[in-house]
Amino acid sequence: MANKVLIVQGAGEGAHLEDKALADYLGAALGPEYLLTYPKFPGLETIAYDAWRDQLRDELEKLGNGGLIVAHSLGGSAVLKYFSEEATACAIAGLFLVAPPYKGNDGEWGTDDFAMDAGAASRLSAAMPIFIYHSRDDEWVPFAHLAQWTSKMPGMVARQFDDRGHSFTGKSFVELVDDIRAL
């Protein structure tokens, strides 16, 4: 039976197409023993958490127990908020967040509907393995957001890079592939 992986895109105009490069890379690198799903989430520049929450609920039902989630940028923040607020029947084997903006209510980017209670983050890292990847040269999400996440989720694994940008698509991303396979 194939391992199931849900890939959640970032937000913004063209994000689904841009993040397809990461999805394609993972599909090729992980091979046929992994079944990847890459749905298009609603909204472009005018995204709303409620719509993403509803689609996440549907996608998690399809993913089932033991599935893995790879989420990029705001998609990572949406997934964390979802798990901090919603009861779910499925157990996730691992969560892999690529360049997620810090969306705790105590942060500079914590005022929109994707913001979550800052105290909720500590409960998440105890519930499932969480890996976060961030690059110092990220042009959209300040590198300081990684420190905010790690201070709130001390059990997570943080991987730092110098030259991956925001999308992590210009170079091989073996660290993510290795972390997925290790679970």
Contact, 71 vs 78, CB < 8 A?
yes
61 forms beta bridges with: none
User: pLDDT tens digits for 111-138?
Assistant: 666 766 766 766 676 678 999 999 999 9
Q: Alpha-carbon distance 158 to 98, whole Å? A: 10
89 or 152: whose pLDDT is higher?
A: 152
Q: Percent of the chain beyond pLDDT 70?
A: 85
pLDDT of res. 129: 93
126 or 5: whose pLDDT is higher?
A: 5
User: Residue 12 — pLDDT band, cuts 50, 70, 90?
Assistant: confident
Q: What is the mean pLDDT of residues 168-183?
A: 91
Distances (CA, A) of 80 to 50, 71, 77, 103, 120: 14, 10, 5, 9, 9
Structural domains for the chain? 3-182 (3.40.50.1820)
pLDDT of res. 87: 76
pLDDT of res. 70: 98
Burial class (CB in 10 A: 0-12, 13-18, 19+), 45: exposed
Query: What pTM was computed for the model?
Result: 0.92
User: pLDDT tens digits for 55-81?
Assistant: 999 999 999 899 999 999 989 988 988
Contact, 114 vs 141, CB < 8 A?
no
pLDDT of res. 127: 72
Residues in the chain: 183
Nearest to 8, CA basis, from 58, 126, 127: 58
- Tell whether the model's pLDDT for residue 88 goes beyond 60: yes
